[in-house]
Amino acid sequence: MDRRHFLAGTTAAAATLALPRAAVSAAPTDTPVFKTANTRWQAAYDKALAVLAANVRTMPYVSAPVLIEGATYQGIWQECGPHEALVYRHWRPDVARNSHTTFFDLQRANGQLPANNKITETSFGQIQMVVPIAATGWELARATGDEALLAQAYRACSAWDDWLVRHRNTRGTGLIEGFCTYDTGHDNSPRWAGMPNQCPNKDAATHHPIASLPRLCPDLSATVFGARRALAAMARALGHADEAARWDERAETIRRLILSRLYDATDAAFYDRDPQDRFVRVRGDVISRVCGEHVVDQPMFDRIWQQQLGNPKAFWSPIPLPSIALDDPSFVRPIPANSWGGASQALTALRAGRWFDHYGRSAEFGTMMTAWCDAIQADASMRQQLDPLTGRFTQEDAPGYSPAALVMVDYTWRLVGFHEDADTIHWNIRPKHPAAMGTMLSRRTDDGRIATIHYSAQGATLTLDGTRVARIDDGAVRLTTDRNGNPTALRGIEPGVQRIRLSVANRSPVHMNLAANTDYPFNRIRENF
């Protein structure tokens, strides 16, 4: 194996690859810490962690605990379970790993992954995928230095791609086809009005003989695009350069097909295309799912944002993002339980972290995260969905839903704490935010260092293994550093111009004005120090 790719940006602490199973199966002894003087925020945060701990269960056929969906959903689903467990990994790395390997261990010899593993059954009656398990498997293996998981994920997800090409490309377009409602997890959505929930005889390789099936689906195709990009990265980490090049080529092929066949430039929206080659014109969260896998480039995203995702008449509701656009005639009211017909879903909110920052909408993401956290604090029962206009959770949905709990926890850290990707730490400092009242956050980074943020009345002190990285006062800003705490960039993360006072390490402070969603490479401002 060529470890240079796999270990890029990590230190020796994370370089202990091929970890013994026991090393990753035990719960961590130093879990993340969030303590705040805002008692309302603290109570909701603690409740969320309690819900998640209660939703760690052992399902049939695999004797390893996973994070289940919770509430009425007593099992783990491919569309969301691995991603949810990835978000939860700092609390339970063993559960994050198990929530991936469950699907790999239950994979059929023909390459088909299960749609879910529940108390009642393991189902192969739909493909039910959104966030690619290949992508989350790669992110987890890379972050933890787990060679065994890397190799298993690469084998399993390669075989899964082969199965999808064989059985979900019946029209020969190169795009991935939807056969039923559950394929995309869009229960009770007008997108699938009149269509069966599941494939006949619970066989995901077949569809009912209905004139409007199968459909070319932008979100399912985007999932495959994201998976192929991850497979290319895994192949490079494994030293398979030729295979990586082939995965890159296949990813680019399906990306071009999505854009040429399933995007309507007039509407700035993605739609299914039926066998009669007509668009199924329902504007739903399909659009954000395509963006979640970074299918579109920045100029196209900017158009989509203006007309759809950032439009208050469509998806930028008081509590973003509704599952159907507010101004789409098919929006379902009154909002029923488990409805992808309009309600803002916790799953969509949790997935937003995969694309808002990527497309430079960090300030708007902050607004969205605060709105969701406020709604959860008002009703900390952790339910599935809420009304996008009022923020009230649907009471007919059972409490104890893992995605809602993860939104509360993940958003807290993204608002006033830090998050990581690859070889980078993003320190999100909002001194005036309600979650920053006398707040302290601390946890281990992926390479084993202790990162800490201490808030005071005016700002925050950032440390790494006890050494000061920076002091930031007044305005809201993201400081990006490498894993050693060396600053690389600043970004304005709240609407309007942010006036900040910044001191890096122990140097004299400087004052700066930062525009929202604007990046400031640190090498250009170094002379100020």
Amino acid at 154: Y
320 Cα distance to chain centroid = 15
Beta bridge pairs of residue 215: 178
Q: Which residues pair with 421 in a beta bridge?
A: 424
pTM metric for this prediction? 0.94
Would you state the pLDDT for residue 7?
46
* Domain parsing of the chain, residue ranges: 30-412, 421-528
Nearest-CA neighbor of 426 among 434, 414, 411, 409?
414
Q: What is the mean pLDDT of each run of 10 residues along the chain (529 residues)?
A: 42 31 41 97 98 97 96 98 98 98 98 97 97 98 97 98 98 98 98 97 98 98 98 98 98 98 98 98 98 98 98 98 98 97 98 98 98 98 98 98 98 98 95 98 96 96 97 97 96 96 89 95 69
**CA separation for the pair 174, 26 (Å, rounded):** 43
Q: Among candidates 328, 386, 382, which has minimal Cα distance to 193?
A: 328
Q: Could you tell me what percentage of the chain is helix, strand and coil, using 3-state DSSP and rounding each to the nearest 5?
A: 40, 20, 45
Q: Is the CA virtual torsion 309, 311, 315, 316 positive or negative?
A: positive
pLDDT for 150 equals 98
Give the per-residue pLDDT at 17.
Answer: 34
- To the nearest 10 degrees (0 to 180), the angle between helices 362-378 and 402-416 is 130
Choose which CATH entry (3.40.50.2300, 3.40.190.10, 1.50.10.10, 3.30.2020.30) describes domain 30-412: 1.50.10.10
463: left (phi over 0), alpha (psi -120 to 50) or beta: beta
Q: Is 385 helix (H, G, I), strand (E, B) or coil?
A: strand
Question: How many Å apart are CA 462 and CA 468, to the nearest integer?
Answer: 6
pLDDT for the residue numbered 505: 84
| Angstrom distances, CA of residue 77 to CA of 131, 183, 399, 441 | 11, 11, 18, 31
